[in-house]
Structure 1
Amino acid sequence: MITSKYTILRRSLSTCITGIGNPEPQYAMSRHNAGLLMLDLLKQQLQPERKAYVPCNANPKVKKCQIDRLLLLRADGDYINLSGRTVVPLWHKLGSNVKHVVVHDELSLPVGKVQLRNPGASVRGHNGLKDIKTRYGDAFYRLAIGIGRPDDRDPNVVANYVLSRFPPHELAVIESDSLVLALRLLQKAGLSA
């Protein structure tokens, strides 16, 4: 029997962690791109050799990096609200034995708080998660990175807030405390390398 390189890759994977956000560099370091920021921090922590992301053959809008049995997907080639359209076809190619984790920003959590929610948990109004759920179903974990919420609930104020960049003191919290919490939660759930 001939086994393709792709089949070997798929069999060796246990977890795929997908960071979602808006196209960079335009939205780099914005609150809405907290999922991408955390994915990059996880990659740096888990792969000290600084292995680079490479474009996926099936969708060059998504970049990938494999670390042992863990695949990191960086989805910033499309807008966050279209995340399902971007990543779900790639997930299907990985097969049904791979566990999926989506790393995303979360308005309902204070800045820096991290929460790992099981498959089937609420998407809490997050349009990127809604699009993934519509196209894939509920069978994915949600790793929420708290970005806080403005006092004003006006949709325009909230939109401007999530698209604004993290101030340095909030970014420092994400890069230290949040990273430690995210790693601990993923390891405890058996979802890291």
Structure 2
Amino acid sequence: MIKLIVGLGNPGQQYEKTRHNAGFLFVDCLADFFDASWVAASQFQGELAECNISGSRLVLLKPMTFMNKSGMSVGKVLRYYKFRPEELLVAHDELELVEGIVRLKRDGGHSGHNGLRDIIAHIDSRDFYRLRVGIGRPAAGKNVADYVLSKMSSDSQLSLMRLFELLLGCMGGVIEGDLALVNELVLSK
């Protein structure tokens, strides 16, 4: 059962609605949908919200440590609440999936994602769930860092929000760890 959902992103207004902040956007949608309020939690170097989904308490976290240092915040929350890595779901942007696709998986490497790399290092485990939010790759010859840190178009933002709305309908099963519910969720065009 998932007890902690972490959305990866970078704090600050300049990073709002960038592709790299897809994880922040997802947990913000969750908090809004379940009427949970974000609270600054300096002891965790992040913002926390708590909600109830299908009768289970769920903690939401947005690390305020910047993407590449997310593991510090995640590790502190896991230890404080005594959650196990397998009770963790990390929502993050995924270059290898086209925009409009979300996949849920458990376990695996970091695939070059620095936020995941830091979490794995701090919790000493790869055994956690990942909600991979497709952002696609930049055009050939374009810089990946510039691409992920650039603002999404209004059409892309709208598509992402529609995708998250579909995902909200599955959250009870996702919390239970039912990978089949979101093995691949695709927004129809």
Unpaired runs of at least 5, structure 1: 1-12
Tell which deviates more after alignment, 16-25 or 163-172: 16-25
Of 61, 66, 81, the match for 2:50: 66
For 1:167 and 1:14, the matched residues in 2 are separated by: 32
Does residue 1:180 correspond to 2:166, yes or no?
yes
Seen in structure 2, the aligned counterparts of structure 1 residues 57 and 85 have a Cα distance that, compared at 3 Å, is closer
The CA deviation at 1:80 is: 0.1
Aligned residues: 172
SS at match of 2:4: strand
Q: Is residue 121 of structure 1 aligned with residue 108 of structure 2?
A: yes
What residue number does 1:171 align with? 157
Partner of 1:23, secondary structure, is coil
Aligned to 1:6: none
Specify the code of the residue in structure 2 equivalent to 1:163.
Answer: L
Partner of 1:143: 131
Pick closer, same or farther for the CA change 1:109–1:178 going to 2, 3 Å: farther
Structure 2 residues not aligned, in runs of 5+ = 179-189
Deviation at 1:133, TM superposition (A): 0.5
Give the structure-2-normalised TM-score. 0.82
Tell me the alpha carbon deviations over residues 68-126 of structure 1, each in whole angstroms, 9 at most, x when there is no partner: 21111111x221011112221221111145711111111111112111111x2232211
**Cα distance in 1, alignment partners of residues 109 and 8 from structure 2:** 17
* TM-score, structure 1 normalization: 0.80
Q: Give 1:179 deviation, angstroms.
A: 3.4
RMSD: 2.2
Distance 2:16 2:93 in 1: 13
Deviates more, 1:19-28 or 1:176-185: 176-185
Q: Is the 8 A contact 1:66 1:72 kept in 2?
A: yes
Q: Pick which of 87-96 and 141-150 moved more.
A: 87-96
Is 1:109 the counterpart of 2:93? The answer is: no
Question: Shift in Å at residue 27 of structure 1?
Answer: 0.5
Given that residues 53 and 64 in structure 1 are in contact (C-alpha distance below 8 angstroms), is that contact kept between their aligned partners in structure 2? Answer: yes
**Does the Cα contact within 8 Å between 2:2 and 2:176 map onto a contact in 1?**
no
Name the residue aligned to 2:77: 90
